Amino acid sequence: MGRKTNPRIQTFKGHAAVLMLRLIGCLPFSLNRWLATLIGHLVATLPSEARRISMINLALCYPQLSANEQRRLARQSLVESIKNTFEIALFWSRPTSGMKRINSVDGGDALQAAVDAGQPVMILAPHLGCWEVLNFWLADHYDLHVMFAPSGLPQVDELVRAGREHFGSTMYPTTARGVAGLVRAMRKGAMTAILPDQVPDRRSGRHADFYGHPAYTGTLACKLIQQTGARPFMAWANRLPGTQGFELRFRPADENIADPDLDTSLLALNRSIAALIDEGPEQYLWSYKRFRRPPAGQRAPY
């Protein structure tokens, strides 16, 4: 039997995490970005698990780059990851400040046309750029319905939910009932957004090629598209240099995502994710163990 979690310790962790997030959220955006960049360069320089994982992933996904180029990209990615952590701490506490930082939208006309046609729309937003700002904009402009997975720290979850619901998004639990509710909303023409590059549990995925390697990929997005006829779009919030803010980018997903064959659909999904990452690989979360569940008989690269 596993060890039981002490509720007092969890409560302490939750309050401490919220305090830290709120302290970061009090900083002006320019100071937030400056401090995040400083800490990011320090993290990127020192040996760490995040740096090790990033280097492994980049060697797998960008073998065409030299070792020096991979190291440079890994360092850039770690800096951008720290920037993301600091900015979402600010935006969860002050959501309107995040919205004010959106300067432009690229590819929004096709998205709007799909909504105007009465189609349900699915936004597929991998761990690229600032996904929280993207969520804010979508909730402010459309009828956004999304799933929410608790972190295990209720105090943090309350802060996150408040930030995400500020602009009117509807949240569903990551349960069978929650999925059913999301499907009903989508069949009525609602929009949903999913992080498609998370490694799912062992009952919720299949292996599909990702940058030339088998990656255990969640089937939920593809199944929802098949069930609801949703129009899929890839999207990310490109972090502009300095304190310039963000540019939202929307791209039509590979049309084979809607294929009734699930393996074909998942392959198209991962192909679409890779194409989006290639637009700004330095802003992707390469420290995430994307290949941690290999096919039977193979070892994880980590």
Q: How far is CA 10 from the centre of its chain?
A: 25
Reported confidence tier of residue 149, pLDDT bands at 50, 70, 90: confident
Mean residue pLDDT of the chain comes to: 92
Q: What is the pLDDT of residues 219-268, one digit of tens each?
A: 999 999 999 999 999 999 999 999 999 999 999 999 999 999 999 999 99
Amino acid 2: pLDDT:
46
Reported confidence tier of residue 143, pLDDT bands at 50, 70, 90: very high
Amino acid 219: pLDDT:
96
Q: Which helix (H) or strand (E) holds 273?
A: helix 262-277
Residues 196-220 have a mean pLDDT of 95
Q: Which helix (H) or strand (E) holds 81?
A: helix 67-93
**Structure-token pair, residue 34:** 């400056």
Burial of 160 (0-12, 13-18, 19+ CB in 10 A): buried
Residues 158-162 have a mean pLDDT of 80
Q: How far is CA 6 from CA 14, 199, 207, 214, in A?
A: 12, 27, 36, 38
Reported confidence tier of residue 160, pLDDT bands at 50, 70, 90: confident
Is a pLDDT exceeding 80 seen at residue 3? Answer: no
- Residue 98 CB contacts under 8 Å (≥ 6 apart), including other chains: 87, 90, 91, 130, 132, 133, 136
Residues 183-206 have a mean pLDDT of 92
Amino acid 60: pLDDT:
98
Asked whether the beta carbons of 201 and 157 are under 8 A apart, the reply is no
